[in-house]
Structure 1
């Protein structure tokens, strides 16, 4: 591990303590990701009548990997993972439609539309085949891509992702953490978005989508050919533990991975453990 990343991890620990979270268990903390490293290339791709932000790291690396973030945030949430993953791989991060630096457009948000955005970005960047590492909504997008475009997806890693509405818990197990998350997400949206006053519009668009989606067909999930890992945190607060097991059993040869002592924010709460399981899939046998 590079000294810079070690310092970032230490800074996160010290910051957590400084703001009084030291008494909280790890899964209830909300660490800040370190700043993203300098990209080899970044820009706004014109896809599906929006401008989709992307950045590329280690552009000459092997086996491309696209990192897809969750709701309300941006690709900056991958600040821990990118320096580790880009040591071996060409890494592309994306701000999903309406998130971060990307525009929302006029069409209703759907997972099919957002997966189409990623596919069109791959075409724009001339990436024939890639692995997907998706967190929450990003994992759902990855599953849609693996179902409908199997020839374009090498491997699939999802973290904290459900495949239908039955997977949600009736109530999240820590509403205070969710409130802290939303406050930070709103501030980052104002900082990054080309429409900084439209966070409410994004919330409404996501809320409408979440009323009916995801709704992936179990029969379609059984057609996924990409080697797959279904990961979650031990203290996942939004999705039932049994749902991840069910999902891993639907996807042929998928592996269920539970990361100890983290929740839905696992990639930030324990980035070393998260990277270990990601690289376990990506560096494993084809």
Structure 2
């Protein structure tokens, strides 16, 4: 009987632990709410593609450009846009091949994607922005900071990496990350101009992920834009040690660890995420 009770206690303990993990904020993948009404939206012809964009708010001062991550789309920023557009002009877009934007046969590359966003800003007549980048969006932000620092005021780069080895080898085994990929496929099929080509799109962009980014310490040292390197304390995809390395090799960069959050911190803790942006960029 004693052995049975011990075994039963361990079983209950295991179930409770699994339940606790399931209830953890960092293991969740909330749906973003609907986006607010944009001031304007449309598609811009840039670098041989049609790039979907939307602009929110009309406040003066430095505009905020928000760039989503790989396989994602602009509407993932809905919580942040609703808040930040009260006192900022906020620009979002779907990166090439993502969401409502088209792609072509040109190989994906972070330099090219950075060029897309700069061309979009030119189309909108915007010379300089504060930039919030998540995952691939953070990498694009770092690329702009290296090569076109005159276009940036500040850079908030969350869950970015500067070498391919900065991505965890077991990321595809994570349930939350798998759920994100599945959801991204559903969004693509509903919104893309080529709804039946999700697998082809993933294969095409995977060619970039296999070899990029691959920046040296000297490359990172060229960044002079005020930068925050940000990571959720339970990030499924990006290695914490690599994030610390990035922050230590970018001049003046500040390392920020978001508590009880993962790769998808903007969805899991929208208020805390927005507060972190505001604390860095200044303003209300």
Give TM-score scaled by structure 1 length.
0.89
Aligned to 1:39: 38
SS at match of 2:257: strand
Residues 174/200 of structure 1: CA separation in 2 closer, same or farther (3 Å cut): closer
4+ residue segments displaced more than 6 Å: none
1:75-117, Cα deviation, whole Å (9 max, x unpaired): 0100111011112211000100000110011201000100000
CA distance in 2 between counterparts of 1:173 and 1:125 reads: 37
Give TM-score scaled by structure 2 length.
0.90
Residues 224/110 of structure 1: CA separation in 2 closer, same or farther (3 Å cut): same
Aligned to 1:110: 109
Aligned to 2:217: 218
1:43-97, Cα deviation, whole Å (9 max, x unpaired): 1010001001110011343211100000111001001110111122110001000
Aligned to 1:235: 234
CA distance in 1 between counterparts of 2:87 and 2:58 reads: 10
CA distance in 2 between counterparts of 1:139 and 1:204 reads: 21
SS at match of 1:115: helix
Residues 174/270 of structure 1: CA separation in 2 closer, same or farther (3 Å cut): farther
Aligned to 1:157: 156
Q: Residue 21 of structure 1: CA displacement? A: 9.8
Which structure is larger by alpha-carbon Rg, 1 or 2?
2
1:148 aligned onto 2:176: no
SS at match of 1:248: helix
1:246 aligned onto 2:252: no
CA distance in 1 between counterparts of 2:127 and 2:272 reads: 30
CA distance in 1 between counterparts of 2:219 and 2:130 reads: 19
Q: Residue 217 of structure 1: CA displacement? A: 2.6
Structure 1 unmatched runs, 5+: 1-19
Report the structure, 1 or 2, having the larger helix content: 2
CA distance in 1 between counterparts of 2:136 and 2:90 reads: 19
The answer to whether the 8 A contact 1:233-1:266 is kept is yes
SS at match of 1:219: helix
SS at match of 1:80: helix
The answer to whether the 8 A contact 1:174-1:237 is kept is no
Q: Residue 23 of structure 1: CA displacement? A: 4.1
For residues 259-278 of structure 1, the aligned pairs below 5 Å read 259-278=258-277
Count how many residue pairs are aligned between Structure 1 and Structure 2.
Answer: 265
Residues 275/281 of structure 1: CA separation in 2 closer, same or farther (3 Å cut): same
